Structure 1
Amino acid sequence: MNNNIDTVLFDLDGTLIDTNELIVSSYLHTLEHYFPGRFQREDVLPFMGPSLHEVFGNLDSTKVDEMIRTYRKYNISNHDSFVTEFEGVTETIKALHDSGFKLAIVTTKIADVAMMGLRLTGLDRYFNIMIALDDVKNAKPDPEPIYKALDLLGSQPESAMMVGDNHHDVLAGKNAGTKTAGVAWSLKGKEHLATFEPDYMLDEMTDLLPILGVK
């Protein structure tokens, strides 16, 4: 139990809401258009976590903006048919909210698309603060988005925890000086995430409650 934590920052995709199939499908749709026959499902898993600009920039720096537009058009069109929340998420977030914890979303998604997922799952009622890709110059694992969220919440790094499904989340938390928690349902695998040594590993989202002293 950690009684020093009063602030919890959450990644969104792959942590609170299950957008994995939507993201994989969006990547495959986009990459098949620009690189026919080159990419399979397993090839796009490493793309989960980094920003679209980083991923597409590494593939073809001359078509980054065009590829991002193609990706986002497909992603938004198919969003609601793919996206669900992970088990125990609403229960956990509501318990933290009702217990007085300060909560925020820190995501590498752009704000309007991130809000689609929060509204679809009803989680938007618990989060007044969200730091999205369009709010920062440097995305996770840079600490800038975490610092920005903490500043808006009036919190200090030593009283905060960053929860996410990707090593970018764990490293961002470490770089900012917060506690960190990884989630075992990470698409890249619990073992992969464990190599980045988060302070806690959650097998279920509700595991967070006893860690934070919430009954």
Structure 2
Amino acid sequence: MTNKIDTILFDLDGTLINTIDLIVASFEHTLEEYFPGKYERNDIPSFIGPPLSETFERMNPDHVDEMIDVYRKFNHANHDSLVTEYEGVKETLDKLQEQGYAMAVVTTKKRDTALKGLQLMGMEEYFPVVVSLDEVTRYKPDPEPLMLALEQLNKSPEQAVMVGDSEHDILAGKNTGTLSAGVSWSIKGKEFLETFDPDVMLEKMTDLLDYMESLEKQSV
């Protein structure tokens, strides 16, 4: 391996911070208002990953902006009570930072909500670069947001790993030319993510430390 892998791009929701209960509750609240009784809780994982505009456009193109507004109001109001930590994430980020890895968040959330989550979990210090929906015209799995993060870190795709809980993250890594790591705690399920052929599947976030160490040995 000629390039040293020294950069890690992370998805936010469902990867670094546990926003699953919040996201599910926000969808349930919005869908019950616009489609009473039509959707059940087990329908919701299929809506997670793309920006809200794309999801709601498919459901009801005449009311996209209204639905986003209803979703976001509920989401912001309940954010701090429903967002929780994943075990091992802070420990992993601490060690990666100590080891000198460049790190960024690449998310399809709006910037204010993404920063709210990072601040709540005390993770802002690890991420000098946050690329959100507000900074791009195309979103994962398009390479644009990953390339923007890499540019801001002054890194190339060959130096990076994309870590995420959605097929959009795995495909974005492949489309950009980075390695990709799936997380087994994805709401969509480990088996589903494995069908997109990530380079590694993390059972817990601390597994990322072992994976980065193995890549380090390969580059020597």
Indicate the SS of the match to 1:169: helix
- Deviation at 1:62? 1.0
Distance 2:40 2:87 in 1: 28
Unaligned runs of 5+ residues in structure 1 are none
CA apart distance, 1:125: 1.2
Question: What pairs with 1:115-194 in structure 2 (closer than 5 Å)?
Answer: 115-194=115-194
How many angstroms does 1:199 deviate by?
0.2
Check whether the contact 1:3–1:212 (CA below 8 A) recurs between aligned residues. Answer: no
Equivalent residue number for residue 43 of structure 1: 43
Q: Residue 103 of structure 1: CA displacement?
A: 0.3
Q: Is the 8 A contact 1:3 1:213 kept in 2?
A: no
Q: Please tell me the residue identity of whatever aligns with 2:83.
A: V
Give 1:85 deviation, angstroms.
1.6
Q: Structure 1: which 4+ aligned runs deviate by more than 2 Å?
A: none
Instruction: Note if contact 2:11-2:164 (Cα within 8 Å) is conserved in structure 1.
Output: yes
Structure 1 residues 72-91: aligned runs within 5 Å = 72-91=72-91
CA contact (8 A) 2:182 2:193 kept: yes
Distance 1:194 1:171 in 2: 12
For 1:197, the equivalent position in structure 2 comes to: 197
Deviation for aligned residue 1:133: 0.6
Report sequence identity in percent.
Answer: 56
For 1:123 and 1:183, the matched residues in 2 are separated by: 19
Aligned position for 1:64: 64
Give the match for residue 99 of structure 1: 99
TM-score normalised by the chain length of structure 1 = 0.97
Change (3 A) 1:67 1:109: same
Which whole-Å CA distance do the structure 1 matches of 2:27 and 2:151 have between them?
Answer: 34
Paired residues of 1:7 and 1:102 also in contact (CA < 8 A): yes
TM-score by length of 2: 0.95
How far residue 4 of structure 1 moved from its aligned partner, in angstroms, is 2.2
Checking the alignment, whether the CA contact within 8 Å between 1:21 and 1:82 is kept in structure 2 is yes
Asked if structure 2 preserves the Cα contact closer than 8 Å seen for 1:16 and 1:86, the reply is: yes
Contact 2:3 2:158 in 1 (8 A): no
1:43 shift after superposition: 1.1
Q: How much is the aligned-residue C-alpha RMSD, in angstroms?
A: 1.6
In structure 2, distance between residues paired with 1:187 and 1:5 = 28
Q: How far did residue 211 of structure 1 move?
A: 1.2
Secondary structure of residue in 1 paired with 2:61: coil
In the alignment, structure 1 residue 14 sits paired with structure 2 residue 17: no
Distance 2:155 2:19 in 1: 29
| Residue correspondences, number | 215
